[in-house]
Amino acid sequence: MNQIDYLRISLIDKCNFRCQYCMPEEAELDYLLSQELLTNQEITTLLKNIFIPLGFTKFRLTGGEPLLRPGLVDLVKEIADLPQTQDLSMTTNGFLLAKQAKALYDAGLNRLNISLDSLNPETFDRIIGNRGRSRWQQTWQGIQTAYQVGFNPLKLNVVVIPGVNETEILDLAALTIERNWHVRFIEFMPIGNPELFGDRAWIDSAELRTQIGNRYGLESGAVTGNGPADVFQIPGAKGTLGFISQMSECFCDRCNRVRLSADGWLRPCLLNETGQIDLKTALRNRISDREIRQQVQQLLHLKSEINFKQRDSGTNKGIYTRTMSQIGG
Ligand SMILES: Nc1nc2c(ncn2[C@@H]2O[C@H](COP(=O)(O)OP(=O)(O)OP(=O)(O)O)[C@@H](O)[C@H]2O)c(=O)[nH]1
Ligand SMILES: C[S@@+](CC[C@H](N)C(=O)[O-])C[C@H]1O[C@@H](n2cnc3c(N)ncnc32)[C@H](O)[C@@H]1O
Ligand code: SF4
Ligand code: SF4
């Protein structure tokens, strides 16, 4: 069995974007109340008393949009300062990054993955549901600032949507030639927007590799990470290209992570809710650390069963009912 040592922590379920593939504008979502969110202190207590003693050393902050979380820099510092923390990273849409990047870097955040689905401001705004105000320029500035303050590796996540941004694959891949950035193409999953997903809403990573290989050539590459990306490189490029292929491949056999939702549910697998544990209620009811650790350990033992056998059990006819923003993607 793989060692499960990577916890993805959702800090908030709200977002300042409404990406078509995640939180489409027309969707009605129920948001958590602020008292339902784990506090910073509860998060660090869980890390110190539960997850670290069970061998967790890698933590990613996500959401919703983590940069909207009040007290974020303090939380980053507290987690980074834990002696057992080997890797502390964040996944963000980058819109509020230009102002926060330096403070986050100084607080000890090691790595950033930033979503950027298009280099064309109009396409970008259409994807993120801009509600009348262009957001591309500020997002691009956030990415540049993050790189300038020292985030390395800096990864850009592109969800590839047929008919929306698929014509930009070569341009996005070309970003890595002169820049030490890591562009990752993600196969669109049937989570969040069933209409957009339609009949064939994802493009096989192998197809993208052929396109890019024909234009620029492609060889194997390497970059630091804990995730499912297969990494390649354009020969001579400064950065790399990653392919995250959850639709065309199954990488569950190398799964090393569990997820903590913003309201404290520990979820063994992204794609289903089997076996979830409510850690917030346990903490607030003063259940002993020992007992909570035992419950978590039991879930970790069950995880490989859940991964393989119940991957689709959280779906309704193959469509997932919770969005990535609610789960903590
Ligand atoms: N099926 C599946 N997909 C995942 C999982 N974790 C991440 N992904 C996919 O990978 C995309 C990028 O995830 P990121 O948040 O950037 O993190 P990562 O690639 O795991 O992280 P590093 O490699 O450590 O940088 C997500 O949007 C998902 O589409 C997972 O546990 N299961
Ligand atoms: C849910 S977001 C949370 C962090 C941050 N708001 C962001 O967008 O980077 C995390 C990742 O999930 C991805 N994502 C959301 N919905 C998806 C879907 N239906 N299929 C594949 N990836 C998805 C996003 O592209 C992003 O890279
Ligand atoms: S993918 Fe990220 S930025 Fe886009 S709506 Fe979802 S949580 Fe927000
Ligand atoms: S689908 Fe579940 S088991 Fe597979 S990689 Fe994602 S979290 Fe792990």
Residue 325 near residue 62 (C-beta atoms within 8 A): no
161-216 pLDDT, tens digit per residue, is 999 999 999 999 999 999 999 999 999 988 877 777 776 679 999 999 999 999 99
Q: Residue range 319-323: average pLDDT?
A: 67
**Is 258 annotated as ligand-binding?**
yes
Q: Residue range 108-135: average pLDDT?
A: 94
Residue type, 264: G
Residue of 112, 324, 325 with the most ligand 2 atoms within 8 Å of its CB, for mutation:
324
Residue whose CA is closest, atom 5 of ligand 4? Answer: 252
Output the CA 66–ligand 2 centroid distance in Å. Answer: 12
Residue whose CA is closest, atom 8 of ligand 2? Answer: 93
60-103 pLDDT, tens digit per residue, is 999 999 999 999 999 999 999 999 999 999 999 999 999 999 99
Does 203 or 314 have the greater pLDDT score? 203
Q: What is the pLDDT of residue 169?
A: 98
In which residue are the tokens 């923003």 written? 325
Q: Considering the chain, what is the average pLDDT of its residues?
A: 92
Q: Is 269 in the pocket of ligand 4 (CB under 6 A)?
A: yes
Closest ligand relative to 271 C-alpha = 4
pLDDT > 70? residue 320: no
**Is 155 annotated as ligand-binding?**
yes
Residue 59: alpha-carbon gap to chain centroid = 11
What is the set of domains in the chain, with CATH numbers?
6-327 (3.20.20.70)
The ipTM (two decimal places) reads 0.98
Residue 96, both tokens: 């509020």
Q: Of all atoms in ligand 1, which is nearest to the CA of residue 58?
A: 24
Instruction: Give the DSSP per-residue string, 154-187.
Output: EEEEEEE-TTTTGGGHHHHHHHHHHS-EEEEEEE
Please state whether the predicted TM-score (pTM) of the whole model is above 0.80: yes
Q: Is 267 in the pocket of ligand 1 (CB under 6 A)?
A: no
